[in-house]
């Protein structure tokens, strides 16, 4: 297959990876607090919190997938959580999103035996919902995504 090449990101890629993730944040209207050092430490430190696949065309990153392991007792197996998937607008229409997800699937299967892939998509992004549904993803009914962070994380349980 011609087009962009896909490879696993390395520590030296942290600034370029962060720049691509900033573009994703801008596109989604999200705040982007990560800096290059945070990306380098979280993704390429002693115990990586994530892995990333890069799609490159020449020296330009035109796509990124960021992912990490998870385990489901309901499914009885390890899986992979894709926290970020971005394809540059100019590179769309080449099945690059699918190719990035395939690279994630294959790497996660090889690293920790992942047998399922999970992600979260914004409700107000029908194009993304349609893309994932077309690949066979199903929405999870009866689940609510919840987050505990910052001061609330530090104070967890203090008011019980």
List, as one string, the DSSP characters of 65-86: EEEEEEEETTTTEEEEEEEEEE
pLDDT score, position 1 = 52
Among residues 1, 2, 4, which one has the least CA distance to residue 59? 4
Tens of pLDDT, residue by residue over 58-89, are 999 999 999 999 999 999 999 999 999 999 99
Tens of pLDDT, residue by residue over 125-159, are 999 999 999 999 999 888 888 899 999 999 998 87
**Where exactly are the structural domains of the chain?**
5-154
What's this model's pTM, rounded to 2 decimal places? Answer: 0.92
The answer to whether domain 5-154 has CATH 3.40.630.30 is: yes
Rounded CA separation 67/73 (Å): 19
């Amino acid at each position: 297959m011609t087009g962009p090449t896909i490879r696993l990101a390395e520590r030296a890629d942290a600034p370029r990876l962060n720049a691509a993730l900033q573009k994703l944040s801008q596109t989604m209207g999200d705040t982007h607090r990560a800096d290059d050092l945070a990306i380098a430490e979280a993704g390429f430190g002693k115990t990586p919190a994530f892995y990333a696949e890069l799609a490159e065309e020449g020296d330009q990153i035109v796509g990124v997938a960021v992912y990490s392991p998870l385990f489901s007792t309901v499914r009885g197996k390890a899986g992979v959580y894709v926290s970020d998937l971005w394809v540059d607008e100019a590179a769309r229409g080449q099945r690059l999103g699918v190719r990035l997800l395939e690279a994630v699937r294959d790497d996660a299967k090889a690293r920790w035996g992942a047998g399922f892939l999970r992600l979260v998509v914004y409700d107000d992004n029908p194009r993304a919902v349609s893309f994932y549904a077309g690949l066979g993803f199903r929405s999870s009914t009866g689940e609510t995504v919840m987050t505990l962070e910052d001061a609330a994380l530090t104070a967890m349980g203090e008011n019980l």
